[in-house]
Amino acid sequence: MQKRFLGESGLEVSALGLGTMNMTGPYGPPQDPQEMVALLRTAVERGVTFFDTAEGYGPLENEKLLGEAFKDIRDEVVIATKFGFDFDAEAGQGLGGLNSRPEHIRKVTEAMLKRLRTDHIDLLYQHRVDPQVPIEDVAGTVKELIAEGKVRHFGLSEAGVQTIRRAHAVQPVTALQSEYSLWYRGPEAEILPTLEELGIGFVPFSPLGAGFLTGKINLTTELDENDFRNSVPRFAVDVREANLALVDLIREVAERKGATPAQIALGWLLAQKPWIVPIPGTTKLHRLEENLGGADVTFTSGELADIDAAASKLQLAGERMPQSFLDATEA
């Protein structure tokens, strides 16, 4: 597996990471913990060094999986996790409101370290920007945690340009995590130029469009009743036909390149900037191996231009997230 640096931070990771959210939901029921631990260990054997989790995944259970999987190979992996919500998993309550108060960050970081069975977090993200807490206070708190050796790098998720700049002035931001793919190209206008200017890496989540770009979902596909995607507007049956035009385009490119649609979607992202590190998620070994093949897909400048030209003619439909999630995301 090739390696990449996240911006100018010096943090080196595998060119493709692994998103672990769905190991504990929300695209259906949680998976068997021991099977997921085995998959995480296999990913390391295949060359993956970058793993993405969050206290809110599960909640809490996802970090425990990584703690179990990596307890005796901790130095071989880079673990990224996230804070930023109120919730009480023990009381059976899911995610509550945003909370990035300094005292809360400190409290949950200690709990994360215990669940992950480690003495440090490689990359600590603010999961969502909290409008009630100045970003300078958030960055300052993480800066203190870095000085104490409990955290090594600071990240933001779904933050806007001005928040990124303000945070970076207090504590250098190593990476921004936000959605980016052939299906959602919003970051290209302002986010990517800002990251390049400041030397910040970019970690796209949902690089496969939550599975849509793999070509495994069609007009008649019925999702599990507990699947989060049932509430996502762009997955609605009445807009699927419009969005499947993009899948058809990706499939055509895949046939020419001797690859799968998933590999094309990931290879396209890797071709955009050398400091972009996608984190496709999966709970299946054959999908993991397929996704990792995306790191071997290369494009000429002409091929990339052709893809852009063809994609620009498509009329894609539906918001990328439910409105409640979009409300918690900075424009």
Q: Where in the sequence numbering do the catalytic residues fall? A: 57
Question: Which residue's entry shows tokens 């493709």?
Answer: 16
User: Cis peptide leading into 134, omega within 30 of 0?
Assistant: no
Paired tokens of 92: 């059976």
CA atoms within a 13 Å half-sphere pointing along the CA-CB vector of 184? 17
Nearest Cα neighbor of 110 from 62, 149, 72, 150 is 150
Amino acid identity, position 298: T
Strand, coil or helix: 244 = helix
| Other residues' Cβ atoms within 10 Å of the Cβ of residue 248 | 11
Helix, strand, coil percent content, the chain, rounded in steps of 5: 45, 15, 40
Tokens coding 216: 């495994």
Residue 331's closest CA among 175, 159, 97?
159
Burial (CB count <10 Å: 0-12, 13-18, 19+), residue 185: middle
Burial of 294 (0-12, 13-18, 19+ CB in 10 A): buried
Whole-Å CA distances, 234 to 13, 231, 317: 31, 9, 6
CA 168 to mean position of chain CA atoms? 20
User: What tokens does 112 get?
Assistant: 């994360």
- Measure the CA–CA gap between 118 and 55, rounded to whole angstroms: 15
Q: Tokens for 327?
A: 């409300």
- 164 contacts: CB under 8 Å, gap ≥ 6: 156, 173, 176, 191, 194, 195, 198, 200
